[in-house]
Structure 1
Amino acid sequence: MTDEDKDNTELIKKAARSILKDEIKHLQLVPSVAIKLLKLTNDDNARIEHLSLIIETEPVLAAKILKQVNSAAYALPNKITSINRAVTMLGFSTVRQLAINLLLYNKLIQRGSKRAFDLLFFWQHCLYVASLSRRIAVALKYPDPDLVYTGGLLHDIGKIVLETYGRVTYSDFIHSMGKSGHSTIEEERRFFGITHTEMGHVFCLEWQLPPSIMAIVAFHHNQPTETSSYAKYKTEIAIVSFANYIAWIQGIGSATHDSHSKLQSAVLETINIDQLDLEALLQQVDQDMKITREFYDIQLPGLTTLRATLVKATINLSQISEDKPFSAVDMSGRKPSSCLTAPHHSLNPDDFIPRTLEAIQDEFCFDRSIMFTIDPKRRCLIASYWWPTSILPTALQPFEIDMSGISGLLLTCLREKKAVIVNTAIERDNPILQRLNTSEFIAVPVLHHNRLSGVLYADNSQSKKPMRESLLPEIMPIAYELGIAMFNAKQYDQQKKHAQIDHLTQLFNKRMLTNFLTEIFQGDESKLTNIAIGFVDIDKFKLFNDTCGHQAGDDALKIVADILRSLTRPGDFIGRYGGEEFLFVLRNTDAKGAYGYAERIRSEIERRGKLMNQRFHGHLLTVSIGVSLYSADYTNYTDMIEAADQAMYQAKEEGRNRIVMLPDVETGNK
């Protein structure tokens, strides 16, 4: 293990100790027999006799193995009465796999649970990922399919550790999930102080499982660094990551709350998916799961062909969004004409993109041109700019292209990042040709550092002039310059937003709060009568840092920020004022509305704090809120802020975890 791995391991072990009820070596999560079977994965000298002996020492397991191998699912000609015979007939791999499945199922699932973390749903996911991992390994001619099967079966074991032995459980975590937009991994770290992959890694270390399985458990969401001792298992990790991704996009996740899964570019760089017949693989896995369905009573989805299509489309999207390296036209030494580069001297896309399209039309005499940008969330290409402005009538707007429907040469343009000409002679039924009523168009990828930003489209739908192949190398440098301009504009916009946003909570900072209130108080005085300002202060915040560590303090701030964000209306304003203080500005409200909003904030933070009581070492997360309602006596927004601040301190003095309003008016909520 490298020094880097040792340092990381110590950190996650420390985090695990703070969240678990007991030392992990005392946790009876997996039977000792299962551990012995798992270790056979790494034993090159393991023989049939070793496996038989392990199973025979557990009479209940032996009986179930024999019952299963004699079932109709295996259709053996003669009844099998000995474990040694069962192993000989079915093979070492099949029997060991079945034994591990039964042991884990009996220990993890049969205890029953009506909590938010559905263990049967979780078990279905593990079986599916394991089976698909094995099938992928066989297709790729990976030498040890059994290893990746076991890794797939255990990849999410950290979730079971948290659910079974956490001071706060995985079910509590699911209940706490809001609409923050963060990934599950990010939310786990915020809630537990550790992710399920890290907890699984600690479990594997304590039980001394093979390093290859350890690597899969620890890194199936994020590949290890090149200097890590686990980097040599990148193929095993990639196979299980890919199987996990396919399971998720079919709705077979490990929990119903799982957020959008992300296929790492490293996965597609490690395994060649062109070698995989996805439809055949899914059919094989369905058959594998059918065999276990009778025993486990698990219902699986069908429609294999439809799922295969979905998988392919999603992979294509991931390749684009993850910036997987593709071949691209070499831009070295080529300089676009000045009339085409001049429009790029701006940081406003609404300025330089239309001007560039106009310049392209003048230079090459195209009838019309369109700039398609990529919307990764909606998974589509959007016609964001066009020239002349009359070429897209209202009937065609908005003009969007679903990524899952892209095929043929346009797909080649996106995947291989090269300019193409699409016409009816090659793709008669192309929907873009039909929708734009043209017989031919060119598509040019717009790149920056080999990352796809959009697609430049042009045609001669009116003049009917043919699109010459020689145009493509002339247009590529222009698209390249356009990509640079778009990247610079995006960077500028991000920097501008960065100056407005508090880095930790992702809420507006004090500067933006000041600007917002200044604008309101300089506006129409009649609109001020429905304004309320509130101070939200975390109670005894210093204890979070002193007793739980600064990471816990940061997590508390993020939780409060997420709750404020989720409960605030569009048009109102929230921000971090400084330290543990937040400020909200409500418009078009009254005393009752302001109090109701503040109470929703207070009660939700209190509820979340109770869930995380153990996470914060018994220190409850609550807030005191002071609210000021507009009065003609306030000549400036600073007067209202000061009044809200005074009300907040009054709430502290009255016992904390409460709301005080100034002026003290009847709200109907008390």
Structure 2
Amino acid sequence: MSLEKEFLAELIDAITNDRLTLPTLPEVALRIREAVNDPEVNSETLASVIGQDAALAARIIKVANSPLMRGSVVVDNLQLAITRMGMAFVRNLATGLAMEQMFQATHDAVDKRLRDSWQHSLEVASISHVLASNFTKLKSDQATLAGLVHEIGILPILTLAEENPAILEHEAVLDKIINRLNGKVGRAILKAWEFPEELLEVPSGCTDFSRDKGPVADYVDVVTVAKLQSYPEGENPYAKVDTSTIPAFQKLGLSHEIDVHHVDELAEELEETKQALG
């Protein structure tokens, strides 16, 4: 049996028999979600929960002061930041940003792949935010979170690969396996994390370019377009895909030839979003 088939068989067997170790959502994200879901919570209580993670707190204040929020006065504390953005927005933002710590590993090759995946997810999330806010009635913060989790399935796949060093030496083979199983594994993770139904299909649906679930754009459509727009010129693995046939572009009212990086009013917002999330 070839190395690819052997690793793939092991991975599929682990998935089928529920033996694949799925990552757990960072503790701070769980506490924030629990707090926001409490009908009695207020901005002061939520601020005290977020404040237990100084780095996350600083990033949330940074976003609150970014051009994205269009605030006229600088906020210098979490409570004011939460008031400006709203609890649901803060919950999605904190959940997404807290996940960054998961995209790290001790093995150099795995660590590089995870960090590259996180950087790409930030790009997709930023574009998703811009697309949702300009071309849909969807929540831009939910679209941002959708972009951040679209490659979440890579985590347990690479964890298993770390135990099989031979597969790490064959990057093309590993890429092929990740592309094949990211969607299925990603859905399992998001379901275990109790993410909303509207996001569960994102990891698998965003690369199903014929997907058409109705006339109105959903979060999968947004991430599909964002993903296709996210690669530097000459590095797009989907360069040969005929984007004119992809329903997601039509639902967003976009030309399949658009490049959000070169549309002035979108490019500025995109850069602001990247700076806020980065």
TM over 0.5: yes
1:107 Cα deviation (Å)?
Answer: 3.0
CA distance in 1, matches of 2:40, 2:267: 30
Spell out the pairing of 1:151-170 with structure 2 (5 A cutoff). 151-166=146-161
> Aligned partners of 1:225, 1:136: CA distance in 2, in Å?
18
Closer, same or farther in 2 for the Cα pair 1:174/1:56, shift >3 Å? farther
For the structure 1 residues 202 and 93, does the alpha-carbon distance in structure 2 shift closer, same or farther, using more than 3 Å as the test?
Answer: closer
Check conservation: 1:137, 1:145, Cα contact below 8 A.
yes
Q: Provide, for residues 468-508 of structure 1, a one-character-per-residue CA deviation record: whole Å limited to 9, x for no partner.
A: xxxxxxxxxxxxxxxxxxxxxxxxxxxxxxxxxxxxxxxxx
Amino acid at match of 1:290: Q
Aligned to 1:265: 246
Greater percentage in strand? 1
TM-score, with structure 2 as normaliser: 0.70
Distance 1:55 1:84, change over 3 A: closer
**Code of the aligned partner of 2:181:** T
Q: What residue in structure 1 maps to residue 190 of structure 2? A: 204
One-letter code of the match for 2:272? Q
Q: Is it true that 1:285 corresponds to 2:276 in the alignment?
A: no
State the distance in 1 between where 2:42 and 2:240 align. Answer: 39
Q: Is the 8 A contact 1:248 1:261 kept in 2?
A: no
1:235–1:271 CA contact under 8 A, matched in 2: no
Structure index of larger Rg? 1
1:208–1:273 Cα change, 3 Å: same
Question: Which runs of 5 or more structure 1 residues have no equivalent in the other structure?
Answer: 1-13, 179-183, 294-670
The alpha-carbon deviation at position 208 of structure 1 amounts to 2.5
Q: 2:208 aligns with which of 222, 247, 255?
A: 222
Could you report, residue by residue, the CA deviation over 1:96-120 in whole angstroms, capped at 9, with x for unpaired residues? 34422431112323x5652155322
Deviations 1:370-422 (A, max 9, x none): xxxxxxxxxxxxxxxxxxxxxxxxxxxxxxxxxxxxxxxxxxxxxxxxxxxxx
Which residue of structure 2 lines up, in the alignment, with residue 129 of structure 1? 124
Shift, 1:248, TM fit: 2.0
SS in 2 for 1:195: helix
For the Cα contact (< 8 Å) 2:153–2:189, is it kept in 1? Answer: yes
Alpha-carbon spacing, 1:143–1:77, altered in 2? closer, same or farther (3 Å): closer
Counterpart CA distance in 2 for 1:124 and 1:177 is 20
Match of 1:67 in 2: 58
* AA of the residue aligned to 1:283: E
Q: Superposed, which structure 2 residues align to 1:463-478 within 5 Å?
A: none
CA contact (8 A) 1:163 1:169 kept: no
Match of 1:120 among 98, 115, 124: 115
Distance in 2, matches of 1:237 and 1:103, equals 22
Listed one character per residue, the Cα deviations across residues 142-165 of structure 1 (whole Å, up to 9, x for unaligned) are: 232222111111001011221124
Please say if 1:188 is aligned against 2:173.
Answer: no
What amino acid maps onto 1:272 in structure 2? G
SS in 1 for 2:231: helix
Please give the residue correspondences for 1:244-393 in structure 2 after superposition, counting only pairs within 5 Å: 244-250=227-233, 258=237, 260=239, 262=241, 263=243, 265-274=246-255, 278=260, 279=263, 280-293=265-278
Q: Distance in 2 between matches of 1:39 and 1:252?
A: 40
**Greater RCO (CA < 8 Å, at least 6 residues apart):** 2
Q: Which amino acid aligns with 1:210?
A: P
Change (3 A) 1:52 1:125: farther
Of 85, 98, 103, the residue aligned with 1:103 is 98
* 2:48 maps to amino acid: E
Equivalenced residues, count: 257
The separation in 1 between residues aligned to 2:232 and 2:202, in whole angstroms, is 20
Whichever residue aligns with residue 248 of structure 2, its letter is V
TM-score (norm 1): 0.33
Looking at structure 1, the residues matched to 94 and 102 of structure 2 have their Cα atoms a distance apart, in angstroms, of 12
User: 1:273 deviation in Å?
Assistant: 0.4
Indicate whether 1:18 and 2:10 are aligned: no
Equivalent position SS for 1:282: helix
CA distance in 2: counterparts of 1:219 and 1:39, whole angstroms: 28
Partner SS, residue 273 of structure 1: coil
| Structure having the larger proportion of residues in helix | 2
Q: Which amino acid aligns with 1:56?
A: S
